[in-house]
Amino acid sequence: MKHHIKSAQALARAEDHTVHWLKFGLRAALSVLVSLGFIWLLLQRLNHIDLAELLAGFERLSPEIWLGALALTVVSFTAIGHYDAALHQHLGSAVAPAVARRAGICAIAVSQTLGLGLLTGSILRWRLLPGTSLWQATRLTALVALSFLAGWGFVTALTLCLLPDAPFRLPASLALGLLCLTGAVALAPPIWARALPNGFTLAKLGVLTAIDTFAAAAALWMLCPPEMALPFATLLPAFLLAFGAGLISGAPGGVGPFEMALLALLPSQPEAALLTAVLAWRACYYALPALLGAAAALHGSKPCTEAPAATAWQLLRLAKRAESGLALQGEHQLIAAPPQAALLVARTRHFVVGLFDPIAARAPAELAASLRHLQKTARAANCSMAFYKASARTAVTARAAGQACLRIAQEAVIEPARYQLDSPRRAGLRRKLRRASQADLHISQPSVQRDWAKLRALAEDWAKLHGGERGFSMGRFCPHYLNYQRLYIAWQNAAPIAFVSFHIGKNEWTLDLMRHGAALPDGCMHLLIQTAIEDAARLGVARLSLAAVPECRLKNRLLNRLLGRMTAQTQGLVRFKSSFAPRWQPLYLTAPNPAALLAAAAEIAQAIHHPAPLRPPNPRAIEHDHAEFEFASDATAWQRQKE
């Protein structure tokens, strides 16, 4: 029976592949027929032109004109290479920009001449991009084609609207409005536009498209014989429309549709002279780049020789803030070049955000190096940079580098060795603990085996009560993630009713998850935290953080509202943490300027309340053995006891 099922599945897959290739063959055949039809029409229109007249036109083109056209071709293809690199950055590719540019130039040079751009471009990128699968190359080629078509539409519509004598102004205005509306979606919160390139990338692609097409048009203009006396402002809109006709037709090099459209849009120009310019332009812009691109493709790519990146656990050994353990959630990325400048970074639509403080930087020079590293990383991703929940030292370094800073949170910090429960400031806490003691609660030690199914049910109940789990700088329930944390569980009648978890670092613990069900005895959460504080004091942990609460009194009203959205029930959270009488330390948001501060705050608020689904943990990036996360340097008493 199983054999028959597998055979049927294999047959179905074979049929799907057959249908796919049949559709592809039909599209290719249709493209060839369209191209042949346009070429026939073109020959019918130009059958009266004397070949000697065309050759005479070529002879009138001086070497300086040819060199100028070739230089403009280089400009155009350089923009094409940067276009590919920008889309690699958008997709988060690990391909080096120089390699991406070279592959993009070769792929476009050959595929635009041969036609069937999706097939030929995908194969060439696959060959020239080391470590890239054919599916990834195909996805990239399709994205290049679609985004370039949109960019061409925007540049063409804008040109037709701005040039006084350009045709089709009304349709161009409507198309420009539609494209601007589509581009505005890219500036929307991530829940609506996660798959689209961000505003920085769209702007970059638009500029590169303009450089590419304008340089190509200028190359054709330079090759026009002197007797044409054709102004560039007259040629440009006709060229863009003709170029689009050739692009949409899918014909090799756009041959046929391009010429027919150009002749129709420039009826006052001598056909023989215009055809001479087009043939010379095709030699410069199509034939020569195609030959060079094919030679580069035959040569292939060099194997990648980059040194392997440091693993997550190697970097986290250096972390001075335990909260950097959020990296183990798998949502964010640890970057290090060199390790002293290591950062935990998160992505929003338009920002690469450094979370908390740099992993190992302590001296001002090291903090400044981390800041420059974050700026470089953001620039490589077509984003701006920001730091979120940075300490005062990091904020001072950022301000010295010209960044704008804003205090956005207060972190509740306790020194377990000096913590005294009988302090007058903790009278309210003692009342809560007495009530918890009357509820017959039992707190299990972190080493006790965890019942993940019951804990997950608690986490789901909590999420329903609070409108879902938060993300970005806050941990979310995941057994793999919690395996690396210190977990305290409250039990009542042999059933778990609440739990809290702590990041464990070299010198500190930091509160992360607080989860409970709908029925919660008064003082239960206070008892969980109190138990952790007592354990930390017994084990010699120098610093215990109850994490941060948003700053509630900002001068800027709009920022006040945005930051107020970052945590629900803020006042209740402040009261809860205040009952432990912690020392409050300010945390900051930094960005290049005040406008960027506002944009970063808005995107971070959105990312906190509407986080993307967690990806499965990557075993290559994070070591599964919990013992690997022992912080080897300067072991404290609690670590020595554990060893």
Contact status, residue 591 vs residue 403, Cβ threshold 8 Å = yes
Q: Which two tokens stand for residue 580?
A: 């432990």
Q: Is the pLDDT of residue 366 over 50?
A: yes
Assigned domain for 27 exists: no
| Judgement on whether residues 377 and 444 belong to the same structural domain of the protein | no
Q: Which of 16-20, 36-40, 255-259, 318-322 has the lowest mean pLDDT?
A: 16-20
Which of 382, 410, 438 is at the close of a domain?
Answer: 410
Higher pLDDT: 241 or 305? It is 241
Nearest to 565 by CA among 595, 601, 511: 601
| Judgement on whether residues 113 and 240 belong to the same structural domain of the protein | yes
| Judgement on whether residues 539 and 453 belong to the same structural domain of the protein | yes
| Judgement on whether residues 356 and 494 belong to the same structural domain of the protein | no
Counting the structural domains of the chain, the total is: 3
Q: Is the pLDDT of residue 278 over 90?
A: no
Contact status, residue 282 vs residue 243, Cβ threshold 8 Å = no
Which of 299, 326, 354 is at the close of a domain?
Answer: 299
Which of 539, 562, 584 is at the close of a domain?
Answer: 584
| Judgement on whether residues 252 and 263 belong to the same structural domain of the protein | yes
| Judgement on whether residues 106 and 247 belong to the same structural domain of the protein | yes
pLDDT of residue 386: 92
pLDDT of residue 544: 92
Over residues 200-213, the pLDDT tens digits come to: 888 899 999 999 99
Over residues 587-642, the pLDDT tens digits come to: 999 999 998 888 898 888 888 888 888 765 543 443 333 333 333 333 433 333 44
CATH number of the domain enclosing 573: 3.40.630.30
| Judgement on whether residues 217 and 286 belong to the same structural domain of the protein | yes
Higher pLDDT: 50 or 142? It is 142
DSSP string, 467-523: TS---TTS----HHHHTTSEEEEEEETTEEEEEEEEEE-SSEEEEEEEEE-S---TT
Q: Is the pLDDT of residue 643 over 90?
A: no
Q: Which of 149-163, 189-203, 415-429, 528-542 has the lowest mean pLDDT?
A: 189-203
Residue 566: band (very low, low, confident or very high) from pLDDT cuts 50, 70, 90? very low
Higher pLDDT: 86 or 9? It is 86
Assigned domain for 246 exists: yes
- DSSP-based three-state secondary structure for 139: helix
- Which is it for the CA torsion 611, 614, 618, 619, positive or negative? positive
Q: Which of 87-96, 116-125, 538-547, 613-622 has the highest mean pLDDT?
A: 538-547
Q: Which of 40-44, 133-137, 146-150 has the lowest mean pLDDT?
A: 40-44
Q: Count of CB atoms within 10 A of residue 77's CB?
A: 23
Over residues 20-79, the pLDDT tens digits come to: 445 545 555 555 565 565 555 555 555 556 556 666 666 777 888 899 999 999 999 999
Assigned domain for 489 exists: yes
Instruction: Give the mean model confidence (pLDDT) for residues 359-366.
Output: 74
Residue 470 sits in which domain range?
A: 411-584
Q: Is the pLDDT of residue 264 over 90?
A: no
pLDDT of residue 195: 64
pLDDT of residue 450: 77
| Judgement on whether residues 288 and 424 belong to the same structural domain of the protein | no
pLDDT of residue 79: 93
Assigned domain for 17 exists: no
| Judgement on whether residues 277 and 366 belong to the same structural domain of the protein | no
Assigned domain for 259 exists: yes
| Judgement on whether residues 399 and 429 belong to the same structural domain of the protein | no
Instruction: Give the mean model confidence (pLDDT) for residues 286-314.
Output: 69
pLDDT of residue 634: 38
Provide the mean pLDDT of the chain: 79
pLDDT of residue 53: 60
The owner of tokens 């309340």 is: 609
3-state helix, strand, coil in the chain (%, to 5): 60, 10, 30
Assigned domain for 387 exists: yes
Query: What distance in Å separates the CA atoms of residue 225 and residue 464, rounded to the nearest whole number?
Result: 74
Over residues 107-133, the pLDDT tens digits come to: 888 888 887 767 888 888 888 888 778
Higher pLDDT: 530 or 192? It is 530
Over residues 406-447, the pLDDT tens digits come to: 888 889 999 998 999 888 898 998 899 888 888 888 888 776
| Judgement on whether residues 456 and 317 belong to the same structural domain of the protein | no
pLDDT of residue 638: 36
pLDDT of residue 185: 66
Over residues 450-470, the pLDDT tens digits come to: 788 888 988 888 888 888 888
Assigned domain for 175 exists: yes
Higher pLDDT: 227 or 219? It is 219
Q: Is the pLDDT of residue 516 over 80?
A: yes
| Judgement on whether residues 151 and 280 belong to the same structural domain of the protein | yes
pLDDT of residue 236: 92
Residue 279: band (very low, low, confident or very high) from pLDDT cuts 50, 70, 90? confident
Assigned domain for 171 exists: yes
Over residues 1-18, the pLDDT tens digits come to: 444 444 544 544 555 545
389 to 112, 356, 563: CA distances (angstroms): 49, 5, 12
Residue 309: band (very low, low, confident or very high) from pLDDT cuts 50, 70, 90? very low
Q: Which two tokens stand for residue 355?
A: 């979370």
Share of the chain above pLDDT 70, in %: 77
